[in-house]
Amino acid sequence: MTDRRPTFSRRHLLAGTGAVGLAMLGAPAIVRAQAKEIVVGGAASMASWMNGTFAKAFEDKYKAKVTFEGTRSLVNLEKMQKNKDKQYLSVVLMDDPVMILAVQEGLLEKLTPAIVPNLAKTRPAAIHMDGMWANYLQPWQGIATNTKALPNGVASWAETYDPKFKGRLVLPSLQNTEGLANLVMAAHLETGKPMDKAQFDIEAGFKKIKTLKPNILTIYTQIPQAFNLLEQGEAWAIPSAFSSVVVPREKEKAPIKMIVPKEGIFVGPAGIALVKGGPAPELARALVNELLSADMQAKLQGETYAFPSNVDAPPPPGIPADTKVFSLDWQFVAKERGEWVKRWDREMAI
């Protein structure tokens, strides 16, 4: 996911001396004599639900204030780097590729079921680098369609290769996080390999996706322009669109719809982690535990339009329970993406 620019000013953690002293059912520990405020760094786009539904529930339960700083993932990384000797952030919510960088610099504390019990209920594919971070609610990727041009939608990712779509598809660039799913799906369609294996066969992915070029109207890096084309009907479909972009417009009665293709959906890299050496560690663990809980993930779906990582949380409305859900290996992506982008720009130019 691409974070937006920051809308919140930096606020330092206020250390408290009074004991909170509440027994927390299902929480990793009893919070005693810790700060009554916890600072969380995340994407600016998360502010409405972090400062609203989530903060209210957490503050009511733990009697501790949540201060949310909304910015971009790389900015959160910079904050941790600059304050390594005296952190003021306790928890960060960042894209997986940036989490990898934070792990490499020793900035994160490992999550375990002993300190975050809901980790045991988190999908294994949503737990990364042996627990250095986990995904919580993840924007999911399917195919966005124009309902007037395609009243019956699109059955599959494979269907977008049909000549009937000539000049009617809009694709995200590989510079965009959501663009990677199309390349991996192309590798799967070309080889027949399961998605977890196909994602490493990028040569096959490029071979297949180049055959899609006649169907491409444009390739975007900026989301608003792309969706203007879709809503106006000039484009008929955007493969690998994010639910967090499409579903709100659906609710506003725009002529677009998010489709769950028969091959399955991808989920975005929305990670949560503990900052190593951060203040109020027990509160921080409690906060991570709450965001990984089935109840909270179900409660937030109506605001985040995202797919839960807790196996006990229901899927979002419109997604069948047996839908296949795919996650990318972001360590592999982080290592290779630079070269893929160069190749994409060279071979997919239209």
pLDDT score of 30: 42
| End-to-end Cα separation, the chain, in angstroms | 25
Neighbour count for residue 280 (Cβ, 10 Å): 23
How many domains does the chain divide into? 2
Q: Of 148-152, 241-245, 301-305, 318-322, give the range with the top mean pLDDT.
A: 148-152
The CA distance from 276 to 285, in Å, is 11
Residue 33 has pLDDT above 90, yes or no: no
Question: 198 and 330: one domain?
Answer: yes
Query: Which tens digits make up the pLDDT trace of 199-239?
Result: 999 999 999 999 999 999 999 999 999 999 999 999 999 99
Report yes or no on 299 lying in a domain: yes
Cβ atoms of 206 and 108 closer than 8 Å: no
Two tokens, residue 194: 């399961």
Two tokens, residue 136: 């919580």
Question: 282 and 329: one domain?
Answer: no
pLDDT score of 72: 87
Share of the chain above pLDDT 90, in %: 82
The CA distance from 212 to 215, in Å, is 6
Lowest mean per-residue pLDDT among 18-32, 43-57, 82-96, 270-284: 18-32
Mean local confidence (pLDDT), 169-198 = 96
Confidence of residue 32 (pLDDT cuts 50, 70, 90): very low
Q: Which range marks the domain in which residue 90 is found?
A: 37-138+268-307
pLDDT score of 5: 34
Share of the chain above pLDDT 70, in %: 90
Question: 191 and 340: one domain?
Answer: yes
Residue 16 has pLDDT above 90, yes or no: no
pTM: 0.80
Confidence of residue 117 (pLDDT cuts 50, 70, 90): very high
Mean per-residue pLDDT over the chain, rounded:
90
pLDDT score of 318: 85
Question: 260 and 184: one domain?
Answer: yes
Residue 51 has pLDDT above 80, yes or no: yes
Report yes or no on 18 lying in a domain: no
Question: 148 and 186: one domain?
Answer: yes
Query: Which tens digits make up the pLDDT trace of 278-337?
Result: 999 999 999 999 999 999 999 999 899 999 999 999 998 889 989 999 999 998 998 999
Residue 6 has pLDDT above 60, yes or no: no
pLDDT score of 349: 87
Phi (first) and psi of residue 276, to 5 degrees:
-65, 125
Question: 214 and 341: one domain?
Answer: yes
Question: 43 and 130: one domain?
Answer: yes
* CATH code of the domain in which 224 resides: 3.40.190.10
